[in-house]
A and B are shown apart, each in its own frame.
Chain A
Amino acid sequence: MRYVDKTVVGLSIAFVVLLFADFFMAEWMRFIGLQSLARGAVALGLLVLWRTGLVSFGHALYFGIGAYAAAMLTLVGYHDAFFLVLAGTLASGLLAFLLGFLLRRYRAIFFALLNMAFSMILYGVIVKTEELGSTDGFSVLTPTFLGYAPQGEAVQTTLFLFTLVFTYIVTVGVHLYLKTTLGGMSMAVRENEIRVEYLGYSAEKVIHVKYVFSGLVAGFGGAIMALAIGQVDPDSMANWNVSGEFVFITILSGIGNVGATYIGALVFELIRTYAFEYAPQVWQFILGGSLLAIIMFLPDGIWSLIDRLRKSEG
């Protein structure tokens, strides 16, 4: 039996559509798209953790590290997007690997809050570092792409292509990974760690692997964000409410499907953009209100709408 993975097919179609759309999209939409891809990547990392039963309230830590690592390399003369994003991703992954040894021992709210505590420590370090512009942050120059140095609108178009390709690879990779034994162990750890141990595998190891993984994708998202915006600063990159937004996106998306995180991120950006535009005095009210509405009435996120749609059809 030839098994065709429909999520991969769906992601591939979306990838191709967006690839072409890149050249026709309005600039502001491409920019929102870029941010959605970056934030969606972080939410993807949270999804992987969430399937293991863990939620992090501090993933701005890895987002921030990814962003700052990439941005700091531009200060010392590196400008290639491939290198910067790789470096940001790996820097976050490394930190997640190290902190993982401590964090993998904790569950539930303690896990969530320890992450938050560490992200606050990073925030403090950045604010105290005048060389990195303290609270002002600093600008990131336009990256080059293997020697190609785009100008004007081409910067965003190229960056979008670049991000799209890597996001596609990462997302399909995550999806396939979730279907492997190690990926499937998310369920096992969430459901019953004792059984996992007595089947001969370390639940903490499973968690650690997933934690590193979520750190890597969050770092990837951060590095992309730094390049897309051309600016890093601690309040937008490492503060606790940024972590809250990532969890928001994850809840918005639901954890049913890897592709949903990007839809969630897009919806989040759109809510925020339009709230900012049409109700500048009460945009927080609208953002908070939408979040509450989703928690109350759409507990499994946007993905559950699609599930419902399917059920009503079939």
Chain B
Amino acid sequence: MTVVLEVRDLQKTFGAVVAAKDINVTVNEHEIIGIIGANGAGKTTFVNMVTGYLKPTSGHIEFAGRNIMGLPPRDITNLGISRSFQVPQVFTSESVFDNLQMAYAITEASGMGLLSPLYNDERAARVDSHLKRYQIAEYRNATASTLPQGVRKLLDIAMAAVSNPTILMLDEPTSGISVEEKFGLMDIIMEALRQDETTVLFIEHDMEIVERYVSRVLAFYQGEIICDAPTAEALVDSGVREFVIGEEYHRTRTEAANGQSNGQEGDDNA
């Protein structure tokens, strides 16, 4: 197995607040990893640091054999780590097609290519096939702001996947989605990403989702990783049960589905 991402001794402090401490993770190619933890445990901070949105206070992040710490998100994206957002980040007043067309254009064009027309038939064909894979083709001409939440989430993830990244980090792909839709949504995403052989890390609160799609779990508590183990092992870990699942398991499923609008953790939607 090839190591694609290696994080060593990552620290992040905001003044006196420690948001991340002694984070050490190694990610192998084609792994599907679930990131769990209570609100404010440091999950989004971790994703923000790896994707360059937040600069770690200290530590080391190595991706594809080079140190990417301190690089801005665009450089990290271009190197092959992409991400989606808990609150979908799309071009709200544009159509779904235009959103993806722009995503393709930015991904594909560089240098003088930026001065070639935005629209071309080949690109349009790629956009349409992408729409089909994420099963949102029927919304092709709808304005992004009018989309149902699930479709908007799919669009957000589809845009992140346009560049065919080595690693895709999904920040709570199922938050704000009704229980009935969750598995359908995840099926679409995971199938598309499996075809692309993308390595996936995703933040998730729903343990059923974690159990079903994930091979390995990173459990966060107070800025630290308290457990890094295969899914089955992690879910019975005492620390995880006490500090992560304990809370989650005492909720009913509906509450879990509706209670995801956490305002404290992360600031990726600032």
A and B held together in a complex? yes
Q: Is the pair A188, B160 in contact by a Cβ cutoff of 8 Å?
A: no
Docked complex Cα distance between A188 and B103 (Å): 9
Closest A-chain residue to B115, C-beta based? A180
Interface stretch, picked from A157-165, A189-197, A230-238, A282-290, is: A189-197
Given the complex, which residues of A lie within 8 Å of B77, measured CB to CB? 197-200
- Minimum CB–CB distance from A104 to chain B (whole Å) comes to 14
B contact face: mostly helix, strand, loop, or mixed: mixed
* Given known A198-B77, A200-B106, contact A181–B118 (CB-CB < 8 A): yes
Given the complex, which residues of A lie within 8 Å of B98, measured CB to CB? 187
A101 within 8 A of B: no
Docked complex Cα distance between A93 and B94 (Å): 31
Q: Is the pair B118, A183 in contact by a Cβ cutoff of 8 Å?
A: yes
Q: Which of B69-91 contact A (CB under 8 A)?
A: 72-75, 77-78, 82-83, 85, 89-91
Q: Is the pair B83, A198 in contact by a Cβ cutoff of 8 Å?
A: yes
- Partner among A187, A197, A202 whose Cβ is within 8 Å of the Cβ of B102: A187
A82 within 8 A of B: no
Q: Which of B161-181 contact A (CB under 8 A)?
A: 162-163
Q: Is the pair B91, A198 in contact by a Cβ cutoff of 8 Å?
A: no
A interface size (C-beta, 8 A): 21
- Minimum CB–CB distance from B244 to chain A (whole Å) comes to 28
Docked complex Cα distance between A188 and B98 (Å): 10
Docked complex Cα distance between A161 and B98 (Å): 39
* Given known A181-B109, A191-B94, contact A198–B82 (CB-CB < 8 A): yes
- Partner among B91, B116, B118, B163 whose Cβ is within 8 Å of the Cβ of A195: B91
- Minimum CB–CB distance from B70 to chain A (whole Å) comes to 15
Given the complex, which residues of B lie within 8 Å of A200, measured CB to CB? 74-75, 77-78, 106-107, 163
A contact face: mostly helix, strand, loop, or mixed: helix
- Minimum CB–CB distance from B117 to chain A (whole Å) comes to 5
Q: Which of B19-65 contact A (CB under 8 A)?
A: 51
Given the complex, which residues of B lie within 8 Å of A196, measured CB to CB? 106
A184 within 8 A of B: yes
- Minimum CB–CB distance from A212 to chain B (whole Å) comes to 14
Q: Is the pair B91, A182 in contact by a Cβ cutoff of 8 Å?
A: no
Q: Is the pair B115, A181 in contact by a Cβ cutoff of 8 Å?
A: yes
B93 within 8 A of A: yes
Docked complex Cα distance between A198 and B165 (Å): 11
Contact with B along A152-184 (1 / 0, CB 8 A): 000000000000000000000000010111111
Among A180, A183, A199, the most chain B Cβ lie within 10 Å of the Cβ of A199
* Given known A187-B91, A191-B91, A197-B73, contact A181–B105 (CB-CB < 8 A): yes
Given the complex, which residues of A lie within 8 Å of B106, measured CB to CB? 181, 185, 188, 196, 199-201
B151 within 8 A of A: no
* Given known A181-B109, A192-B89, contact A198–B160 (CB-CB < 8 A): yes
Q: Is the pair A202, B72 in contact by a Cβ cutoff of 8 Å?
A: yes
- Minimum CB–CB distance from B131 to chain A (whole Å) comes to 17
B209 within 8 A of A: no
- Minimum CB–CB distance from A60 to chain B (whole Å) comes to 29
B235 within 8 A of A: no
Q: Is the pair B91, A181 in contact by a Cβ cutoff of 8 Å?
A: no
Q: Is the pair B116, A198 in contact by a Cβ cutoff of 8 Å?
A: no
B113 within 8 A of A: yes
Given the complex, which residues of A lie within 8 Å of B117, measured CB to CB? 179-181
- Minimum CB–CB distance from B155 to chain A (whole Å) comes to 11
Q: Is the pair B102, A184 in contact by a Cβ cutoff of 8 Å?
A: yes
B119 within 8 A of A: yes
Given the complex, which residues of A lie within 8 Å of B82, measured CB to CB? 198
Given the complex, which residues of A lie within 8 Å of B92, measured CB to CB? 191-192
Q: Is the pair A192, B74 in contact by a Cβ cutoff of 8 Å?
A: no
B18 within 8 A of A: no
Counting from the closest, the 3 A-B pairs by CB-CB distance are A191-B91, A200-B77, A182-B114
Interface on A for B, CB 8 Å cutoff?
177, 179-185, 187-188, 191-192, 194-202
